[in-house]
Amino acid sequence: MAERVRLIDVAREAGTSVSTVSRALNGSDLISPEVVAHVRAVAGELGYRADKRAQEFKLGRPLTVGVTVPDLANPFFSEVLKGLAAAARAGGYRLLIGESSEDPAEELRLVEELVDHSGALVLCSSRLTRAGLEQALGLPVPVVCINRTVKNAGVVAIDYRAASRLLLEHLTGLGHRRVLYVGGPATSWSDGERRRTLRRTARSLDVTLDEIEGGWAGHHGYDAGPTVMRSRATAVITFNDLVGVGLLSWLHDNDVEVPTELSVASYDDIPIAAYARPPLTSLRNDRARLGELAWQQLSARLSGEDWPKPDLLTPELVLRASTGRARRRARIT
Protein backbone atom coordinates (compact mmCIF):
# COMPACT_ATOMS: atom_id res chain seq x y z
CA MET A 1 0.00 0.00 0.00
CA ALA A 2 1.34 3.46 -0.95
CA GLU A 3 2.49 5.66 1.93
CA ARG A 4 -0.12 8.19 3.05
CA VAL A 5 0.37 11.72 1.71
CA ARG A 6 0.96 14.15 4.57
CA LEU A 7 0.45 17.91 4.95
CA ILE A 8 4.22 18.39 4.77
CA ASP A 9 4.26 16.64 1.38
CA VAL A 10 1.57 19.00 0.06
CA ALA A 11 3.45 22.00 1.48
CA ARG A 12 6.74 20.94 -0.15
CA GLU A 13 5.08 20.43 -3.55
CA ALA A 14 3.05 23.67 -3.28
CA GLY A 15 6.09 25.67 -2.19
CA THR A 16 4.50 26.96 0.99
CA SER A 17 4.36 26.25 4.72
CA VAL A 18 2.45 23.48 6.48
CA SER A 19 0.35 26.05 8.37
CA THR A 20 -0.64 27.72 5.09
CA VAL A 21 -1.66 24.35 3.64
CA SER A 22 -3.69 23.58 6.76
CA ARG A 23 -5.49 26.93 6.63
CA ALA A 24 -6.13 26.64 2.89
CA LEU A 25 -7.62 23.17 3.16
CA ASN A 26 -9.80 24.23 6.11
CA GLY A 27 -11.22 27.24 4.28
CA SER A 28 -9.56 29.96 6.39
CA ASP A 29 -10.33 33.56 5.42
CA LEU A 30 -6.70 34.44 6.19
CA ILE A 31 -5.51 32.84 2.94
CA SER A 32 -6.07 34.43 -0.48
CA PRO A 33 -8.42 32.62 -2.90
CA GLU A 34 -5.51 32.14 -5.33
CA VAL A 35 -3.37 30.36 -2.73
CA VAL A 36 -6.34 28.27 -1.60
CA ALA A 37 -6.98 27.16 -5.19
CA HIS A 38 -3.28 26.36 -5.73
CA VAL A 39 -2.94 24.35 -2.51
CA ARG A 40 -6.15 22.39 -3.13
CA ALA A 41 -5.07 21.61 -6.68
CA VAL A 42 -1.73 20.27 -5.45
CA ALA A 43 -3.44 18.27 -2.70
CA GLY A 44 -5.73 16.75 -5.29
CA GLU A 45 -2.89 15.81 -7.60
CA LEU A 46 -1.03 14.13 -4.74
CA GLY A 47 -4.13 12.31 -3.52
CA TYR A 48 -4.03 13.96 -0.09
CA ARG A 49 -6.81 12.93 2.32
CA ALA A 50 -7.33 14.59 5.68
CA ASP A 51 -6.64 12.38 8.70
CA LYS A 52 -9.94 12.68 10.56
CA ARG A 53 -8.66 10.85 13.61
CA ALA A 54 -5.74 13.26 13.95
CA GLN A 55 -8.07 16.23 13.56
CA GLU A 56 -10.42 14.88 16.19
CA PHE A 57 -7.54 14.26 18.57
CA LYS A 58 -6.26 17.80 18.03
CA LEU A 59 -9.70 19.35 18.59
CA GLY A 60 -10.53 17.08 21.51
CA ARG A 61 -13.93 16.18 20.06
CA PRO A 62 -15.37 14.01 17.27
CA LEU A 63 -15.98 15.66 13.90
CA THR A 64 -19.52 14.32 13.99
CA VAL A 65 -22.87 16.03 14.58
CA GLY A 66 -25.49 13.82 16.23
CA VAL A 67 -29.01 14.51 14.96
CA THR A 68 -32.39 13.33 16.23
CA VAL A 69 -35.56 13.46 14.12
CA PRO A 70 -39.07 12.27 15.00
CA ASP A 71 -39.92 10.64 11.66
CA LEU A 72 -37.57 9.92 8.74
CA ALA A 73 -40.55 9.08 6.51
CA ASN A 74 -41.64 12.73 6.59
CA PRO A 75 -40.07 14.67 3.67
CA PHE A 76 -39.89 17.76 5.90
CA PHE A 77 -37.09 16.21 7.93
CA SER A 78 -35.20 14.70 4.99
CA GLU A 79 -34.89 18.16 3.42
CA VAL A 80 -33.72 19.69 6.70
CA LEU A 81 -31.09 16.94 6.92
CA LYS A 82 -29.91 17.61 3.37
CA GLY A 83 -29.27 21.26 4.18
CA LEU A 84 -27.56 20.40 7.46
CA ALA A 85 -25.44 17.64 5.92
CA ALA A 86 -24.17 19.84 3.08
CA ALA A 87 -23.23 22.68 5.43
CA ALA A 88 -21.60 20.36 7.98
CA ARG A 89 -19.67 18.53 5.25
CA ALA A 90 -18.25 21.84 4.01
CA GLY A 91 -17.09 22.45 7.59
CA GLY A 92 -15.38 19.06 7.80
CA TYR A 93 -18.09 17.33 9.86
CA ARG A 94 -20.43 14.44 9.15
CA LEU A 95 -23.86 13.53 10.52
CA LEU A 96 -24.90 10.65 12.74
CA ILE A 97 -28.71 10.40 12.61
CA GLY A 98 -31.22 8.74 14.93
CA GLU A 99 -35.02 8.49 14.53
CA SER A 100 -37.21 8.57 17.64
CA SER A 101 -40.50 7.50 15.97
CA GLU A 102 -42.28 10.36 17.79
CA ASP A 103 -41.38 8.79 21.17
CA PRO A 104 -39.87 11.22 23.75
CA ALA A 105 -38.33 8.38 25.77
CA GLU A 106 -36.65 6.95 22.66
CA GLU A 107 -35.39 10.40 21.73
CA LEU A 108 -33.73 10.78 25.13
CA ARG A 109 -32.08 7.37 24.71
CA LEU A 110 -30.81 8.46 21.30
CA VAL A 111 -29.39 11.68 22.72
CA GLU A 112 -27.53 9.76 25.41
CA GLU A 113 -26.07 7.41 22.79
CA LEU A 114 -25.23 10.05 20.19
CA VAL A 115 -23.36 12.29 22.60
CA ASP A 116 -20.70 9.59 23.08
CA HIS A 117 -19.85 9.79 19.36
CA SER A 118 -20.55 13.45 18.54
CA GLY A 119 -18.97 16.84 19.02
CA ALA A 120 -22.37 18.56 18.82
CA LEU A 121 -26.08 17.74 18.72
CA VAL A 122 -29.03 18.94 16.65
CA LEU A 123 -32.49 18.15 17.99
CA CYS A 124 -34.90 18.47 15.09
CA SER A 125 -38.51 19.15 16.17
CA SER A 126 -37.68 17.63 19.54
CA ARG A 127 -40.46 15.79 21.35
CA LEU A 128 -38.53 15.67 24.64
CA THR A 129 -40.31 16.60 27.84
CA ARG A 130 -39.05 19.71 29.60
CA ALA A 131 -37.04 17.55 31.99
CA GLY A 132 -35.61 15.54 29.13
CA LEU A 133 -34.68 18.70 27.24
CA GLU A 134 -32.91 20.12 30.30
CA GLN A 135 -30.98 16.85 30.56
CA ALA A 136 -29.94 17.11 26.90
CA LEU A 137 -28.86 20.73 27.28
CA GLY A 138 -26.74 19.76 30.29
CA LEU A 139 -24.53 17.49 28.19
CA PRO A 140 -20.93 18.58 27.49
CA VAL A 141 -21.53 19.41 23.80
CA PRO A 142 -23.25 22.37 22.10
CA VAL A 143 -26.89 21.73 21.16
CA VAL A 144 -29.05 23.39 18.51
CA CYS A 145 -32.82 22.94 18.49
CA ILE A 146 -34.73 23.18 15.23
CA ASN A 147 -38.38 24.16 15.71
CA ARG A 148 -38.26 24.44 19.47
CA THR A 149 -37.34 27.51 21.49
CA VAL A 150 -35.02 26.99 24.45
CA LYS A 151 -32.47 28.93 26.49
CA ASN A 152 -28.72 28.25 26.56
CA ALA A 153 -28.75 26.59 23.14
CA GLY A 154 -28.92 27.45 19.48
CA VAL A 155 -32.42 27.95 18.07
CA VAL A 156 -33.57 27.79 14.46
CA ALA A 157 -37.31 27.76 13.82
CA ILE A 158 -40.13 28.50 11.45
CA ASP A 159 -42.26 31.42 12.58
CA TYR A 160 -45.43 29.40 13.09
CA ARG A 161 -47.18 32.37 14.66
CA ALA A 162 -46.90 34.38 11.45
CA ALA A 163 -47.72 31.24 9.46
CA SER A 164 -50.90 30.51 11.38
CA ARG A 165 -52.11 34.08 11.00
CA LEU A 166 -51.52 33.87 7.23
CA LEU A 167 -53.59 30.69 6.94
CA LEU A 168 -56.51 31.91 9.01
CA GLU A 169 -56.59 35.33 7.36
CA HIS A 170 -56.62 33.62 3.95
CA LEU A 171 -59.61 31.48 4.91
CA THR A 172 -61.55 34.32 6.51
CA GLY A 173 -60.86 36.38 3.40
CA LEU A 174 -62.74 33.70 1.49
CA GLY A 175 -65.70 34.11 3.83
CA HIS A 176 -65.11 31.17 6.18
CA ARG A 177 -66.42 31.90 9.67
CA ARG A 178 -66.07 28.44 11.20
CA VAL A 179 -62.70 26.70 10.92
CA LEU A 180 -61.53 23.34 12.24
CA TYR A 181 -57.93 22.59 13.21
CA VAL A 182 -56.81 18.96 12.98
CA GLY A 183 -53.94 18.96 15.48
CA GLY A 184 -50.60 17.19 15.64
CA PRO A 185 -48.75 15.27 18.35
CA ALA A 186 -49.27 16.50 21.89
CA THR A 187 -45.48 16.52 22.33
CA SER A 188 -44.94 18.88 19.35
CA TRP A 189 -43.80 22.42 20.16
CA SER A 190 -44.89 23.63 16.73
CA ASP A 191 -48.39 22.22 17.25
CA GLY A 192 -48.66 24.28 20.43
CA GLU A 193 -47.50 27.39 18.56
CA ARG A 194 -50.11 26.78 15.86
CA ARG A 195 -52.95 26.26 18.34
CA ARG A 196 -52.18 29.33 20.44
CA THR A 197 -51.89 31.60 17.41
CA LEU A 198 -54.98 30.19 15.69
CA ARG A 199 -57.00 30.78 18.85
CA ARG A 200 -55.82 34.37 19.27
CA THR A 201 -56.30 35.18 15.59
CA ALA A 202 -59.75 33.57 15.52
CA ARG A 203 -60.85 35.74 18.45
CA SER A 204 -59.54 38.90 16.78
CA LEU A 205 -61.33 38.03 13.52
CA ASP A 206 -64.54 36.91 15.26
CA VAL A 207 -64.16 33.41 13.80
CA THR A 208 -65.22 30.18 15.49
CA LEU A 209 -62.26 27.80 15.79
CA ASP A 210 -62.83 24.16 16.67
CA GLU A 211 -60.01 21.72 17.38
CA ILE A 212 -59.70 17.94 17.19
CA GLU A 213 -56.79 15.59 17.78
CA GLY A 214 -55.05 14.32 14.67
CA GLY A 215 -51.43 13.24 14.34
CA TRP A 216 -48.44 13.56 12.01
CA ALA A 217 -48.96 11.00 9.23
CA GLY A 218 -51.31 10.46 6.31
CA HIS A 219 -53.39 7.82 8.06
CA HIS A 220 -54.13 10.28 10.88
CA GLY A 221 -55.70 12.64 8.36
CA TYR A 222 -57.67 9.82 6.75
CA ASP A 223 -58.93 8.61 10.11
CA ALA A 224 -60.02 12.15 11.01
CA GLY A 225 -62.37 12.30 8.02
CA PRO A 226 -65.61 11.21 9.77
CA THR A 227 -65.01 13.63 12.67
CA VAL A 228 -64.28 16.45 10.24
CA MET A 229 -67.57 15.80 8.44
CA ARG A 230 -69.51 15.81 11.72
CA SER A 231 -68.20 19.30 12.46
CA ARG A 232 -69.92 22.42 11.20
CA ALA A 233 -66.71 23.87 9.80
CA THR A 234 -66.51 25.07 6.21
CA ALA A 235 -62.70 25.05 6.23
CA VAL A 236 -60.07 22.79 7.78
CA ILE A 237 -56.43 23.43 8.70
CA THR A 238 -54.29 20.34 9.25
CA PHE A 239 -51.08 19.98 11.31
CA ASN A 240 -48.99 19.19 8.24
CA ASP A 241 -49.31 18.23 4.59
CA LEU A 242 -49.19 14.49 5.25
CA VAL A 243 -52.27 14.82 7.45
CA GLY A 244 -53.84 17.15 4.88
CA VAL A 245 -53.30 14.73 2.00
CA GLY A 246 -54.69 11.89 4.11
CA LEU A 247 -57.81 13.93 4.81
CA LEU A 248 -58.19 14.82 1.12
CA SER A 249 -58.01 11.11 0.31
CA TRP A 250 -60.85 10.33 2.73
CA LEU A 251 -62.94 13.19 1.35
CA HIS A 252 -62.40 11.90 -2.19
CA ASP A 253 -63.32 8.34 -1.21
CA ASN A 254 -66.55 9.62 0.34
CA ASP A 255 -67.54 11.91 -2.55
CA VAL A 256 -67.01 15.16 -0.65
CA GLU A 257 -66.15 17.92 -3.12
CA VAL A 258 -63.17 20.10 -2.21
CA PRO A 259 -63.36 23.09 -2.02
CA THR A 260 -67.05 23.26 -2.97
CA GLU A 261 -68.20 21.57 0.25
CA LEU A 262 -65.07 21.97 2.36
CA SER A 263 -61.81 23.90 2.03
CA VAL A 264 -58.55 22.32 3.26
CA ALA A 265 -55.23 24.06 3.99
CA SER A 266 -52.06 23.00 5.74
CA TYR A 267 -48.44 23.64 6.73
CA ASP A 268 -45.01 22.82 5.17
CA ASP A 269 -45.67 22.56 1.40
CA ILE A 270 -43.78 19.31 0.97
CA PRO A 271 -43.63 18.14 -2.69
CA ILE A 272 -46.69 15.89 -2.44
CA ALA A 273 -48.90 18.91 -1.64
CA ALA A 274 -48.73 20.13 -5.25
CA TYR A 275 -49.77 16.71 -6.58
CA ALA A 276 -52.68 16.01 -4.21
CA ARG A 277 -56.18 15.97 -5.67
CA PRO A 278 -57.03 18.76 -5.52
CA PRO A 279 -53.63 20.39 -5.01
CA LEU A 280 -53.27 21.49 -1.40
CA THR A 281 -53.00 25.10 -0.25
CA SER A 282 -50.05 25.16 2.11
CA LEU A 283 -47.37 27.27 3.79
CA ARG A 284 -44.00 26.91 2.07
CA ASN A 285 -40.87 27.04 4.20
CA ASP A 286 -37.20 26.65 3.25
CA ARG A 287 -36.43 23.41 5.04
CA ALA A 288 -32.89 23.07 3.69
CA ARG A 289 -32.20 26.57 4.98
CA LEU A 290 -33.21 25.45 8.46
CA GLY A 291 -30.44 22.85 8.32
CA GLU A 292 -27.91 25.37 7.00
CA LEU A 293 -28.73 27.85 9.78
CA ALA A 294 -28.48 25.11 12.40
CA TRP A 295 -24.93 24.38 11.23
CA GLN A 296 -24.04 28.10 11.22
CA GLN A 297 -25.11 28.36 14.84
CA LEU A 298 -23.17 25.23 15.79
CA SER A 299 -20.11 26.36 13.88
CA ALA A 300 -20.06 29.68 15.72
CA ARG A 301 -20.35 27.96 19.06
CA LEU A 302 -17.68 25.37 18.22
CA SER A 303 -15.39 28.29 17.38
CA GLY A 304 -15.81 29.63 20.91
CA GLU A 305 -18.38 32.35 20.18
CA ASP A 306 -21.57 32.98 22.16
CA TRP A 307 -24.79 31.57 20.79
CA PRO A 308 -26.17 33.76 17.97
CA LYS A 309 -29.70 35.12 18.27
CA PRO A 310 -32.46 32.65 17.26
CA ASP A 311 -33.10 32.42 13.53
CA LEU A 312 -36.79 32.61 12.54
CA LEU A 313 -37.96 31.87 8.99
CA THR A 314 -41.28 33.27 7.78
CA PRO A 315 -43.18 30.91 5.45
CA GLU A 316 -44.87 31.84 2.19
CA LEU A 317 -48.53 30.97 1.58
CA VAL A 318 -48.94 28.94 -1.61
CA LEU A 319 -52.53 29.08 -2.86
CA ARG A 320 -53.91 26.04 -4.64
CA ALA A 321 -57.27 24.52 -5.55
CA SER A 322 -58.09 22.99 -2.14
CA THR A 323 -59.36 26.33 -0.77
CA GLY A 324 -62.24 28.39 -2.14
CA ARG A 325 -65.14 30.64 -1.24
CA ALA A 326 -67.18 29.60 1.78
CA ARG A 327 -70.54 28.02 1.09
CA ARG A 328 -73.24 26.74 3.38
CA ARG A 329 -72.47 23.11 4.28
CA ALA A 330 -74.84 20.91 2.29
CA ARG A 331 -74.41 17.95 4.63
CA ILE A 332 -73.24 17.26 8.15
CA THR A 333 -73.00 13.55 8.92
Transcribe 229-241 into DSSP letters.
HHS--SEEEESSH
What angle (nearest 5°) sits at the alpha carbon of residue 242, between those of residues 244 and 82? 140
- pTM (2 decimals)? 0.81
pLDDT at 18: 83
Please, what sign has the CA dihedral across residues 119, 100, 123, 156?
positive
Distance CA(83)–CA(124), nearest Å, equals 13
pLDDT at 84: 96
Tell me the CB-side half-sphere exposure of residue 46, using CA atoms within 13 A: 21
Residue 28's pLDDT band (boundaries 50, 70, 90)? low
Among 8-17, 216-225, 302-311, top mean pLDDT goes to 216-225
Q: For the segment 230-286, what is each residue's pLDDT rounded down to a tens digit?
A: 999 999 999 999 999 999 999 999 999 999 999 999 999 999 999 999 999 999 999
Rg (CA), the chain: 24
Residue 1's pLDDT band (boundaries 50, 70, 90)? very low
Cβ-Cβ contacts under 8 Å for 270 (sequence gap 6 or more): 74, 75, 76, 79, 240, 241, 242, 282
With H, G, I as helix, E, B as strand and everything else as coil, classify residue 209.
strand
Distance CA(147)–CA(155), nearest Å, equals 7
CA 333 to chain centre: 37
Task: Reply yes or no on whether the pLDDT at 330 is more than 70.
Answer: no
40 φ/ψ sector (left φ>0, alpha ψ -120 to 50, else beta):
alpha
If you average pLDDT over residues 188-211, what whole number do you get? Answer: 96
Q: For the segment 104-130, what is each residue's pLDDT rounded down to a tens digit?
A: 999 999 999 999 889 999 999 999 999
Q: For the segment 47-92, what is each residue's pLDDT rounded down to a tens digit?
A: 887 655 555 544 556 789 999 999 999 999 999 999 999 999 988 8
